[in-house]
């Protein structure tokens, strides 16, 4: 793929940390070329990628990748750029409002959540524990593993004795494509498994507190002003907005 080409490459690109990028990364190092990591954008598509929906946004990162806590990323560089923040503060504020008002998320196929009004524990404080899929690179490179999810659930239960604790199943698990860290190994009867395929932001609007490892739903919860407790090292942690 890289041999016998007449044109000199300026950079090598590959999809995140997939195994398919090993040779590409090696080639980039050997030829002193920058490697550009590609990933789905945070507002990816209308439906699931595994259902054939093409991405409408793409992340291209020459420094690292946002979910790898071991090294800097273009996103981290942007966050630290205070001058850019001042210049684009109004745009950012408007973007947040548009995201919340229209409940825009990574996959946008699921219906809106209408609330807990028909449940007897409606008056209880509602705590949401976010599960993720086994094999999620943001878990591995966010310093977490299977045990981290068990510890998160245990803490959520102990720290909120009078609350109703829900576990949110990942949409890829609901649709039968992958397994979850918690929802595929759940033996705890004191929590409620929330396995409806609904819009994440619409659900977050109805809860009081959110526990995450590295899930992007933690960032969406921050956009809504929710209390967020992280057990891994997601890109939005460590800035004073989350309880890490």
In percent, how much of the chain has pLDDT > 70? 92
- Report yes or no: 141 and 17 within 8 Å, Cβ to Cβ: yes
| Residue 48 pLDDT greater than 90, yes or no | no
Q: Helix or strand or coil: residue 240?
A: coil
pLDDT of residue 211: 98
Band (pLDDT 50/70/90 cuts) for residue 155 is very high
Neighbours of 45 (CB within 10 A): 19
Mean pLDDT value of segment 148-162: 95
pLDDT tens per residue, range 95-105: 999 999 999 99
- List strand residue ranges (DSSP E) for the chain, in order: 12-15, 35-40, 58-61, 126-130, 164-168, 192-194, 209-212, 227-230
Residue 54 DSSP code: P
Q: What is the mean pLDDT of residues 224-242?
A: 97
CA distance 223 to 100: 8
Q: What is the 3-state secondary structure (H, E, C) of 79-97?
A: HHCHHHHHHCHHHHHHHHH
Rg of the chain over all Cα atoms, to the nearest angstrom: 19
What's the pLDDT at 1?
Answer: 47
Position 4 pLDDT exceeds 60: no
Residue range 44-55: mean pLDDT, rounded = 89
Q: Does an H or E element contain 14, and which?
A: strand 12-15
Closest CA to 48 of 5, 109, 100, 98: 109
Predicted confidence band at 119 (pLDDT cuts at 50, 70, 90)? low
Q: What is the pTM of this model?
A: 0.89
Contact in structure between 209 and 163 (CB atoms under 8 Å):
yes
At residue 26, the pLDDT reads 95
Backbone angles phi, psi at 168, to 5 degrees: -90, 120
Pick the closest to residue 180 from 130, 234, 111 (CA basis).
130
Query: Measuring CA to CA, which residue among 184, 180, 191, 190 is closest to residue 213?
Result: 180
**Average pLDDT of the residues of the chain:** 91
pLDDT category of residue 12 using cuts at 50, 70 and 90: very high
Q: 3-state DSSP call for residue 29?
A: helix
Report the alpha-carbon distance of residue 62 to residue 1 in Å, rounded.
Answer: 21
In tens, the pLDDT along 178-227 reads 899 998 677 666 788 888 899 999 999 999 999 999 999 999 999 999 99
pLDDT of residue 121: 52
């Amino acid at each position: 793929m890289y041999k016998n080409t007449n044109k000199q490459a300026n950079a090598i690109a590959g999809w995140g940390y997939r195994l398919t990028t090993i040779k590409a990364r090696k080639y980039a190092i050997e030829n002193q070329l920058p490697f550009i990591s590609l990933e789905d954008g945070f507002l990816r598509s209308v439906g699931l990628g595994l259902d054939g929906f093409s991405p409408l946004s793409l992340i291209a990162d020459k420094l690292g990748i946002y979910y790898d806590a071991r090294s800097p990323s273009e996103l981290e560089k942007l966050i630290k750029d205070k001058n850019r923040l001042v210049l684009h503060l109004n745009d950012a504020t408007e973007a947040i409002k548009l995201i919340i008002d229209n409940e825009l998320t990574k996959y946008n196929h699921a219906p809106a959540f209408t609330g807990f009004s028909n449940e007897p524990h409606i008056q209880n404080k509602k705590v949401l524990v976010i599960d993720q899929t086994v094999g999620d690179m943001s878990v591995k490179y966010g310093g977490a593993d299977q045990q981290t999810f068990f510890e998160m659930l245990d803490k959520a239960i102990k720290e909120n004795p009078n609350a109703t604790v829900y576990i949110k199943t990942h949409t890829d698990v609901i649709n039968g494509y992958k397994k979850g860290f918690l929802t595929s190994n759940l033996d705890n009867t004191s929590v409620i498994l929330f396995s409806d395929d609904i819009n994440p932001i619409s659900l977050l609007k109805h809860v009081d507190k959110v526990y995450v490892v590295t899930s992007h739903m933690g960032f969406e919860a921050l956009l809504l002003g929710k209390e967020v407790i992280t057990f891994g090292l997601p890109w939005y942690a460590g800035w004073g907005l989350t309880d890490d």
